[in-house]
Amino acid sequence: MTDSYASSRNGDLSPSQNGHAASSPSLGPNAGVSSVIRKKLMGYVGFANLPNQVHRKSVRKGFQFTAMVVGESGLGKSTLINTLFNTTLYAPKEPLPPTAERPKTVAIESIDADIEENGVRLHLTVVDTPGFGDFVNNDDSWRPIVENIESRFDSYLEQENRVNRQKVVDNRVHACLYFIQPTGHSLKQIDIEFMRRLHTKVNLIPVIAKADTLTDEEIADFKNRILADIAHHHIHIFQAPTYDNEDEETIAEAEEIASKIPFAVVGSDKVVATPDGREVRGRSYPWGIIEVDNEEHCDFVKLRQMLVRTYMEELREYTNDVLYENWRTEKLLSMGVAQDSSVFKEINPAERMQEDRVLHEAKLAKMEAEMKMVFQQKVQEKEAKLKQSEEELYARHKEMKDALDKQRSDLEEKKRKIESGRPLTPEKSNTSKKNRFLRA
C-alpha cells in the first residue's frame, strides 16, 4: 500500500482528490489528449477487502469440481485420484475372478465426496469410465464419454432456462485426465481418436501413467512424440494461462507447469519409509523408493499444482466461458435459434473506433434523411394550402365577374330599349301615364 494510504488511513476522499482534479483547466501542453487517469488513493476506501469478501463467501459456500478420468484398465487412475486429493475415494479393488462376466460397453460411474482442507470445503465429483479401451474393438469407446459430457451440458442449459435459477447445480466436467499407457513409443490410435473427439468439449490433461516404468530419457522422448502427435492432429490440450500484469514468479511457475505436459506421474496412497528415515508417499522397489511428491522423481507435484492448487478456478472458468458456450451456441443453432455473436466479440480499439465512426455516420445519414422527409412534407402541405386558396380566389373572382357581366348586360338591354322608344316595363309605363296626365 502507498505512503499516502498509510498517512491518512482514516481520512475520506476530499473533493479535489476524487478524480475530478485531473480534469482541471491547468493541464499543461498535453491538455486535450485523452489518457488513463491514474490516481493515488488518499484514504482507505475499503475495496482492498474485496478478495477477503470473495474468500469468505466461497469458503461458506464451498467449491464444486468435477474431474473425469479416462484410460485403459489398470493404468492407475483410482490410485492417482486418491493420491491427488489425499483421500481414499476409491477403496482397493478386488481383482475380477476369471469366470466373471466382463462388461460389454464403457460404463460411466461417478463418485462424490466432500473433502475439507484448512476449513475450505471442496465438493469433488470424480467421473470414472471403466471399460474404456478394454474391448476387442475399441473404435467407439469415446462415444459414451462424449454423450455423458454433453448430457451434463444439457442439464446445465435446462437449469439456465428455468424461470427460477436460484439453485443451479454445475455438474459439468471441468477437467479430464487422460491416462496414456507408458509404452515409450507414441500415441495409439485409440488415444488420438479419444482426444480428437473430446478436446472441444472438455479441458484435456494428458498424463503418462505409471511413469516409474520408464527411464528419464525414455520419458523425455515419449513426451516429445506425444506432443508432436497432439500438434499434428490439432488437438487442444489445457494450457496454464498467463496474464500480462502477472509477476515474474507466477509467469515462471506457469511456464514450468506447461513444460511438464504431458505429466509423467506416479501414484501411490501408501506411505513408505526412506533409508534416511523420512516417511513419504511412494512406491518401494528392491533398488529404491519412488517418491510421489518429489519433483525429481515425477511430475505429480506439477500436475497437482495445475489441477488443484493454481488452476482449478481457471479450469472451471474455461469450461463455462469457452467449452460450454461453444456447445450451447451450436446446440441453439441446431434448434434454429441464432445468437447475436457480436455481443461476445472482442474487438481491438482501432476496430472499435472504425465501428463507432460507421455507426455515427449511419446515424447522421438517418437524421438527414428524416429532416429531408419532414421538410418535403411541410412544403407539400404549404403548396396544397396555397393551391386551395388560389382556387377559392379564382372561384370568387369568377363569381364576381359573372355578376358584373350580368349587370352590364341588363344595363345595355335597358339602354337599347330606351333608345328604341319601346315601352318600358309596367312600372315604367305607369310613370309615362303620370307624365302624360301632368302634361294635359
Binding site for ligand GTP (CB under 6 A): 73-79, 93, 130, 210, 212-213, 266-267, 283
Question: Shortest gap between Cβ of 211 and ligand GTP (angstroms)?
Answer: 7
Nearer to ligand GTP, 282 or 316 (CB): 282
Cell reading at 280: 513419504
Nearer to ligand GTP, 201 or 297 (CB): 297
Strand, helix or coil at 234?
A: coil
Nearer to ligand GTP, 179 or 327 (CB): 179
Q: List the one residue out of 83, 129, 64 whose CA is nearest residue 268.
A: 83
Consecutive H or E run containing 264: strand 263-264
Question: Shortest gap between Cβ of 90 and ligand GTP (angstroms)?
Answer: 7
Question: Shortest gap between Cβ of 233 and ligand GTP (angstroms)?
Answer: 24
Name the CA dihedral angle for 370, 376, 378, 381, rounded to a multiple of 10 degrees: -140
Comparing every residue's Cβ against ligand GTP, the nearest one is 76
**Separation of alpha carbons 172 and 327, rounded Å:** 12
Nearer to ligand GTP, 79 or 305 (CB): 79
**Separation of alpha carbons 356 and 350, rounded Å:** 10
Nearer to ligand GTP, 66 or 79 (CB): 79
Cis peptide upstream of residue 423 (ω within 30 degrees of 0): no
Question: Shortest gap between Cβ of 72 and ligand GTP (angstroms)?
Answer: 7
Beta bridge partners of 279: 273
Sheet of strand 288-291: strand arrangement: 271-273, 279-285, 288-291
Question: Shortest gap between Cβ of 265 and ligand GTP (angstroms)?
Answer: 6
Beta bridge partners of 68: 127, 176
Question: Shortest gap between Cβ of 210 and ligand GTP (angstroms)?
Answer: 4
**Separation of alpha carbons 16 and 24, rounded Å:** 10
Question: Shortest gap between Cβ of 202 and ligand GTP (angstroms)?
Answer: 19
Nearer to ligand GTP, 295 or 368 (CB): 295
Q: What is the DSSP string of 269-320?
A: --EEE-TTS-EEEEEEETTEEEETT-TTT-SHHHHHIIIIIISHHHHHHHII
Burial class (CB in 10 A: 0-12, 13-18, 19+), 64: middle
**Separation of alpha carbons 226 and 303, rounded Å:** 17
Question: Shortest gap between Cβ of 209 and ligand GTP (angstroms)?
Answer: 7
**Separation of alpha carbons 287 and 212, rounded Å:** 12
Question: Shortest gap between Cβ of 130 and ligand GTP (angstroms)?
Answer: 5
Nearer to ligand GTP, 63 or 90 (CB): 90
Question: Shortest gap between Cβ of 323 and ligand GTP (angstroms)?
Answer: 25
Name the CA dihedral angle for 368, 370, 376, 381, rounded to a multiple of 10 degrees: -150
Nearer to ligand GTP, 297 or 316 (CB): 297
Nearer to ligand GTP, 83 or 319 (CB): 83
Consecutive H or E run containing 356: helix 349-420
Nearer to ligand GTP, 154 or 218 (CB): 218
End-to-end CA distance of the chain: 141
